[in-house]
C-alpha cells in the first residue's frame, strides 16, 4: 500500500508557491502553472517543502489526497525541469518537418497533416522520423503527443505509423496463400 499522499513535496530554490483556497500557483524558471484543487484538501508550505493534508480517512478523501499531491508535485517538476515525450515515425516516406513553430507530418495520405503547437508546447525534430514534444504541463505534453500519435497509430501487420519511443507493437502474421 502506497503512502504517496503523505510524502512532502520538496520545493527547489528559485520556485515560489502561491497557495489560496482551492487554487495553487507554482512559479519557476521555466514558467508558471496554476491548478484548482478540491475544497476539502489543504496545501501548506513548511520551509522548503509542501505538505498536502486531508480532513478524514474516508476513501474519497484518501483518493483526492494522492491526486492533489501528484498534481502539485508535477507542477513543481514542470516549472523546474519540464516534461517531454518522444515519438518515432516508422514507414516508407513518413516524416515530420517543422513549419515555423508548428509541425507538418507526411503520413502516406494525399495531403500533409498540420499539427499546430498549443500555447506552452514546443516541438523538436532532430531527425525526420523523430518528434520531441516539450512543455511545462505534464497533461498538455501527454495530450499533444497522443494527438500526434492518433494521426497514424502503429498498425500490427507492418508496424507502420507513429509510436512512443520504446513502445512495443504486437505484430500479427498476415494472411497466407
Q: What angle do CA 50, 142, 127 make, to 5 degrees?
A: 125
Check residue 175 and give its pLDDT. Answer: 84
What is the per-residue pLDDT across 72-91, written as a single tens digit (0 to 9) for each? 999 999 999 999 999 999 99
pLDDT of residue 149 exceeding 70: yes
Average pLDDT over residues 110-125: 95
Instruction: Report whether pLDDT(60) > 50.
Output: yes
Residue 165, C-beta contacts closer than 8 angstroms, at least 6 positions apart: 85, 86, 87, 88
Residue 1: pLDDT band by 50, 70, 90 thresholds?
A: very low
Q: Which three cell numbers stand for residue 21?
A: 483556497
Please state the rounded mean pLDDT for residues 27-41: 93
Give the residues across from 120 on adjacent strands: none
Count Cβ atoms within 10 A of the Cβ of residue 94 and give its class: 0-12 exposed, 13-18 middle, 19 or more buried.
Answer: middle
Residues spanned by CATH 3.90.930.12 within the chain? 4-80, 83-164
User: What pLDDT does residue 2 have?
Assistant: 56
Give the residue-averaged pLDDT of 18-31.
92
CA dihedral sign, ordered 32, 118, 163, 93: negative
Class of domain 4-80: alpha beta
Contact call for residues 125 and 98 (beta carbons, < 8 A): yes
Whether residue 141 is predicted with pLDDT greater than 70 in this model: the reply is yes
pLDDT of residue 67: 92
What does 24-38 look like in DSSP terms, one character per residue? EEEEETTEEEEEE--
Q: What would be the CATH architecture of the domain defined by 83-164?
A: Alpha-Beta Complex (3.90)
pTM: 0.89
Amino acid at each position: 500500500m502506497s503512502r504517496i499522499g503523505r510524502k512532502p513535496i520538496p520545493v527547489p530554490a528559485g520556485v515560489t508557491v502561491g497557495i489560496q483556497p482551492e487554487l495553487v500557483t507554482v512559479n519557476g524558471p521555466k514558467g508558471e502553472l496554476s491548478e484548482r484543487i478540491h475544497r476539502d484538501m489543504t496545501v501548506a508550505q513548511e520551509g522548503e517543502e509542501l505538505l498536502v493534508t486531508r480532513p478524514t480517512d474516508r476513501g474519497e478523501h484518501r483518493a483526492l489526497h494522492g491526486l492533489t499531491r501528484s498534481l502539485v508535485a508535477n507542477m513543481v517538476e514542470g516549472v523546474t525541469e519540464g516534461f517531454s515525450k518522444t515519438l518515432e515515425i516508422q514507414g516508407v516516406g513518413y516524416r515530420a518537418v517543422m513549419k515555423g513553430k508548428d509541425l507538418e507530418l507526411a503520413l502516406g495520405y494525399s495531403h500533409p497533416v498540420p499539427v499546430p503547437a498549443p500555447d506552452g508546447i514546443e516541438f523538436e525534430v532532430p531527425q525526420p522520423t523523430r518528434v520531441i514534444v516539450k512543455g511545462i504541463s505534464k497533461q498538455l505534453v501527454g495530450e499533444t503527443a497522443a494527438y500526434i500519435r492518433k494521426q497514424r497509430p502503429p498498425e500490427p501487420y507492418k508496424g507502420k505509423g507513429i509510436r512512443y519511443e520504446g513502445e512495443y507493437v504486437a505484430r500479427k502474421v498476415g494472411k497466407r496463400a
